[in-house]
């Protein structure tokens, strides 16, 4: 049986690291999708956060699948929802500080969606949710945390990485660590096995 190509349609370092750690051989192709515009259109149209996360993951997978039709193309997206507000990734230290202060002492949900496409068609999908309660941390802790973790956490919608110092931000976490890091990994691995891209 010929080897099936796996393509990750994402620029996320976290998703790449998870797949590499799991021993998956893949290539990365960054999709040409305007995520902010698409998110704004879906939000203004009244789509719920789960639908938005799925639609963005699907758009990424389909965009790359058109250029790699024989490959299994994995697209993914993650939304952070806190008290009805959908957060976007911070672009600098000031935005990261504002995001963390907005989440301090509150519970939020991380919605991680994944879609696999082949020949320009979505052939598999999964959406998982994790719930996290951020503790009410001191300004001194926040200063030290940002000094240690910037600029790397700008790639995370919540400005934290639970596999590093970001775990100190939380008092309670309910959910899969892979979902929190941006990918429903166990489901993805099973799908890749089902499609014959990984050994059963």
E strands, 33-120, in order: 72-82, 85-87, 107-118
Is 199 inside any structural domain? no
Quote the domain boundaries for residue 107: 6-194
Contact 189, 18 (CB under 8 A): no
**23 Cβ partners below 8 Å, 6+ apart?**
none
Is 148 inside any structural domain? yes
**How much of the chain, in percent, has pLDDT values that exceed 90?**
95
- Give the 3-state secondary structure of residue 132: strand
Q: Is the pLDDT of residue 2 over 90?
A: no
Average pLDDT, the chain: 96
Q: Is the pLDDT of residue 26 over 50?
A: yes
Q: Is the pLDDT of residue 27 over 90?
A: yes
33 closest CA partner among 3, 76, 2:
76
Is 128 inside any structural domain? yes
Is 89 inside any structural domain? yes
Contact 116, 191 (CB under 8 A): yes
Q: Tell me what pLDDT residue 196 has.
A: 96
Q: Is the pLDDT of residue 94 over 80?
A: yes
Is 200 inside any structural domain? no
pLDDT digits (tens, 9 = 90+) for 102-139: 999 999 999 999 999 999 999 999 999 999 999 999 99
Is 184 inside any structural domain? yes
Is 1 inside any structural domain? no
CATH number for the domain spanning 53: value is 3.90.950.10
Q: Is the pLDDT of residue 1 over 50?
A: no
Active site residue ranges: 77
Q: For residues 173-194, b (16+ Cβ closer than 10 Å) or e, as one string?
A: beebebbbbbbbbebbbebbee
When divided into structural domains, the chain yields a total of: 1
Q: Is the pLDDT of residue 171 over 50?
A: yes
């Amino acid at each position: 049986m010929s080897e099936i190509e796996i393509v990750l349609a994402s620029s996320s370092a976290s998703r790449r690291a998870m797949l590499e750690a799991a021993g998956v051989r893949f290539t990365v192709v960054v999709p040409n999708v305007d995520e902010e515009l698409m998110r704004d259109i879906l939000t203004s149209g009244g789509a719920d956060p789960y639908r938005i996360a799925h639609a963005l993951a699907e758009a990424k997978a389909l965009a790359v699948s058109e250029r790699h039709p024989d490959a299994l193309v994995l697209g993914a997206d993650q939304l952070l929802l806190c008290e009805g507000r959908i957060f976007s990734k911070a672009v600098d230290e000031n935005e990261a500080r504002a995001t963390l202060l907005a989440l301090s002492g509150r519970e939020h949900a991380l919605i991680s969606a994944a879609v696999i496409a082949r020949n320009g068609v979505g052939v598999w999908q999964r959406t998982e949710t994790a719930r996290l309660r951020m503790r009410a941390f001191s300004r001194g802790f926040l200063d030290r945390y940002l000094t240690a973790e910037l600029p790397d956490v700008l790639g995370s919608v919540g400005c934290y990485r639970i596999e590093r110092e970001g775990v100190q931000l939380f008092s309670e976490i309910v959910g899969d660590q892979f979902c929190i890091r941006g990918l429903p990994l166990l489901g993805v691995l099973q799908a890749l096995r089902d499609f014959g891209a990984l050994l059963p």
